[in-house]
Amino acid sequence: MDRLRRPSGWSCCSCSSLKTWLPILSWLPRYKVGYLQMDVLAGLTVGLTVVPQALAYAEVAGLPVQYGLYSAFMGGFIYTILGTSKDVTLGPTAIMSLLCFSVVGGQPHRAVLLSLLCGLVQAAMALLRLGFLLDFISYPVIKGFTCAAAVTIGFGQVKNILGIQGVPHQFFLEVYYTFYKIPEARTGDVVMGLLCLCLLTMLTFMKSSLGSSDSASCTRMARKFIWTVATMRNALLVVAASLFAFSCEAYGYHIFTITGHTSQGLPPFRPPPTSDTTANGTTVSFREMLEDFGGGLALIPLMGLLESIAIAKAFASQNDYRIDANQELLAIGVTNIMGSFVSAYPVTGSFGRTAVNSQTGVCTPAGGILTSVIVLLSLAFLMPAFYYIPKASLAAVIICAVAPMLDYGAVAKMWRVHRLDLLPFAVTFLMSFWEVQYGIVAGVAVSGAVLLYNVARPRIKVSDHGVLVMQLCSGLTFPATEHLSRFIHAHALQVSPPRSVVLDCHHVSAIDYTVISELKDLLRQFQLRRVKLVFSGLKPPVLKVFLAAQLQDFRFADSVEEALQMESGSSEPLLGGD
Distance CA(134)–CA(85), nearest Å, equals 19
Q: Which uninterrupted H or E stretch holds 251? A: none
1-60 tens-digit pLDDT: 343 344 444 444 577 778 788 899 889 999 888 889 889 988 888 888 888 889 889 988
Rg (CA), the chain: 30
pLDDT at 572 over 70: no
CA dihedral 411, 417, 418, 424 (to 10 degrees): -30
Identity of the highest mean pLDDT range in 57-71, 317-331, 382-396: 57-71
Per-residue model confidence (pLDDT) at position 346: 95
- Indicate the range of 269-278, 311-320, 520-529 predicted with least confidence: 311-320
Per-residue model confidence (pLDDT) at position 578: 35
Q: What are phi and psi of 357, to 5 degrees?
A: -60, -45
Q: What separation in angstroms does the CA of 352 have from each of 92, 231, 552?
A: 11, 10, 63
157-201 tens-digit pLDDT: 899 899 888 888 888 888 999 999 999 999 999 999 999 999 999
Per-residue model confidence (pLDDT) at position 5: 41
Question: For a pLDDT cut of 90, what percent of the chain falls above it?
Answer: 32
pLDDT at 145 over 70: yes
Inter-residue contact 531 to 468 (CB < 8 Å): no
Distance CA(99)–CA(300), nearest Å, equals 7
Identity of the highest mean pLDDT range in 151-160, 336-345, 377-386, 484-493: 336-345
210-214-218 Cα angle (round to 5):
55
Distance CA(341)–CA(270), nearest Å, equals 5
Question: For a pLDDT cut of 70, what percent of the chain falls above it?
Answer: 94
Higher pLDDT, 386 or 271: 271
Cβ partners under 8 Å of residue 142, min gap 6: 306, 310
CATH superfamily, domain 460-569, is STAS domain (3.30.750.24)
Per-residue model confidence (pLDDT) at position 368: 92
Cβ partners under 8 Å of residue 507, min gap 6: 471, 472, 473, 474, 475
438-465 tens-digit pLDDT: 888 888 899 989 888 888 888 899 998 8
Span 292-300, average pLDDT: 87
Task: Provide the sign of the torsion angle of the four alpha carbons 182, 188, 190, 193, taken in this order.
Answer: negative
Span 83-91, average pLDDT: 92
Work out the end-to-end distance of the chain between its first and last CA atoms, rounded to an integer number of angstroms: 55
Per-residue model confidence (pLDDT) at position 351: 82
On average, the pLDDT of the chain sits at: 86
Cis amide bond preceding 108, omega within 30: no
Domain spans in the chain, listed from the N-terminal domain onward: 35-138+186-276+283-405, 460-569
Span 197-220, average pLDDT: 74
Distance CA(60)–CA(545), nearest Å, equals 57
Going by DSSP bridges, is the β-strand pair 468-472/283-284 parallel, antiparallel, or unpaired? unpaired
Q: Where are the beta strands (DSSP E) in 465-560?
A: 468-472, 501-504, 533-536, 555-557
- Is residue 142 very low, low, confident or very high in pLDDT (cuts 50, 70, 90)? confident
Per-residue model confidence (pLDDT) at position 218: 53
Span 529-549, average pLDDT: 91
pLDDT at 345 over 90: yes
pLDDT at 398 over 50: yes
Per-residue model confidence (pLDDT) at position 211: 56
Higher pLDDT, 516 or 568: 516
352-374 tens-digit pLDDT: 888 888 877 889 999 999 999 99
